[in-house]
Amino acid sequence: MALILGIESTAHTFGVGIVRNGKIIANKRDMYTTESGGIIPVDSARHHRELSPKIYSEALVEAGIEEKDIDAIAFSQGPGLPPCLLEGLKFAKALSERLEKPLVPVNHCVAHLEIGGVTGAKDAVLLYCSGANTQIISYASGKYRVFGETLDTGVGNFIDTFARYAGIGFPGGPKIEKFAHEGKNYIELPYAVKGMDVSFSGILTNLRQKLERKEGSLEDLSFSLQETVFAMLVETAERALAHVGKNELVLGGGVACNSRLQEMARKMCEERGAKYFCPDRSLLVDNGAMIAYLGEIMFNSGISFSGESAEKLDIKPRERTDEVKVRWK
Ligand code: AMP
Ligand code: MG
């Protein structure tokens, strides 16, 4: 029996989740947003600092537990924005000292893959489409391996940057999805897949030019953006499935909330006889529950840090998925 609290703070979201024996019993979060322009790391960190006590108390209430019931505190160690990660680390360390409970450092990207377990996935390929990250990840021969990834920006940041050019604020993804819904004409855009990697910068430049020259309405451009870029992502995910010989696909990341991306991924899985798993929206976006969920798996296999070794724990802003030392599989 373990009761694990998980803290997420890698970018714009501060989240606290609580998991007991693989069941999520709380998942509270708050997201830093702006009216226009992108994410400013120190502002987002301030948001986390201000909101953390409130989110923490709400999570305890939702779970119906008391602080003393917590066995360990898992936190997102990386990758992410350093000021934001530091707020999460500080919060986790203070809690760990006060409650005298150990810390469990969790890799954010691996947590996105493993949370697929709540939907029944056992050994999946993750199509991880978030703001800063775009990767196709799976566990193979002792490591979480990156089979494909973006060669420049994350798909979410790409969509958000396009939205900023169009003057519609952050986050842009949900707004672009609405515009795309009204789009009728497909406007040709560059298609950039290289093996299992993708790139977005050329498409962004092209879209920016089309916006400035008014070659197409925002509706049509949004529609064309989604059709092109999601086809790229699904194509690379399919290639990764074939390459590693797995038959389960899990979606993760905020962009995976997009219903058109979900539809395209589901169809691809149907066509090749693979199982398609799409966790609930609250688990696709950045959240504390996935940190607690993987934290519990790690904790149960004996990974935890107390005392001096806990004090020494630091953030890992640039930790790559394949650098994660896997001692729990
Ligand atoms: P994450 O970094 O995983 O929390 O995801 C945040 C990113 O998801 C931001 O770039 C958002 O613009 C994007 N996003 C959220 N909802 C949608 C949506 N419905 N369609 C496309 N992108 C989305
Ligand atoms: Mg994420």
Residue having the nearest C-alpha atom to atom 21 of ligand 1: 173
Q: How many residues does the chain have?
A: 329
> pLDDT by residue (tens digit) across 12-58?
999 999 999 999 999 999 999 877 666 899 999 999 999 999 999 99
- What are the beta bridge partners of residue 34? 170
Give me the residue label for tokens 């925002």.
218
Tell me how far apart the alpha carbons of residues 322 and 52 are, in angstroms, rounded to a whole number. 30
Q: Which element (helix H / strand E) includes 73?
A: strand 72-78
H or E segment at 29? strand 23-31
Torsion of CA 45, 280, 135, 254, to 10 degrees: -40
Distance, first Cα to last Cα, the chain: 19
List pocket residues of ligand 1, CB cut-off 6 Å. 11, 13, 130-131, 156, 159-160, 171-174, 177, 253-255, 257-258, 285-286
Q: What atom of ligand 1 comes closest to residue 130's alpha carbon?
A: 3
Q: Ligand 1 mean position to 224 CA, how many Å?
A: 17
CA of residue 4 relative to chain centroid, distance: 20
Contact 149, 134 (CB under 8 A): yes
Contact in structure between 277 and 248 (CB atoms under 8 Å): yes
Domains of the chain, start order: 3-109+284-323 (3.30.420.40), 113-283 (3.30.420.40)
- What's residue 201's pLDDT? 97
CA dihedral 110, 112, 115, 116 (to 10 degrees): -110
At a CB cut-off of 8 Å and minimum separation 6, what does 212 contact? none
Burial classification of residue 329, based on how many CB atoms lie within 10 Å of its CB (0-12 exposed, 13-18 middle, 19 or more buried): exposed
What angle do the packed helices 259-272 and 218-244 form, to 10 degrees? 30
In this prediction, residue 37 carries a pLDDT of 63
Pocket test residue of 13, 159, 284 for ligand 1, highest count of atoms within 8 A of CB: 159
Cα of 110 to ligand 2 centre, how many Å?
10
Helix (H) or strand (E) holding 140: strand 134-140
DSSP 134: E
Task: Spell out the per-residue pLDDT of the chain, length 329, in tens.
Answer: 799 999 999 999 999 999 999 999 999 999 998 776 668 999 999 999 999 999 999 999 999 999 999 999 999 999 999 999 999 999 999 999 999 999 999 999 999 999 999 999 999 999 999 998 999 999 999 999 999 999 999 999 999 999 999 998 778 999 999 999 999 999 999 999 999 999 999 999 999 999 999 999 999 999 999 999 999 999 999 999 999 999 999 999 999 999 999 999 999 999 999 999 999 999 999 999 999 999 999 999 999 999 999 999 999 999 999 999 999 99
Asked whether the beta carbons of 59 and 288 are under 8 A apart, the reply is yes
CA of 254 from ligand 2 middle (Å) equals 7
User: Which of 257, 260, 280 has most ligand 1 atoms within 8 Å of its beta carbon, as the pocket-test mutant?
Assistant: 257
Token pair belonging to 146? 């990156």
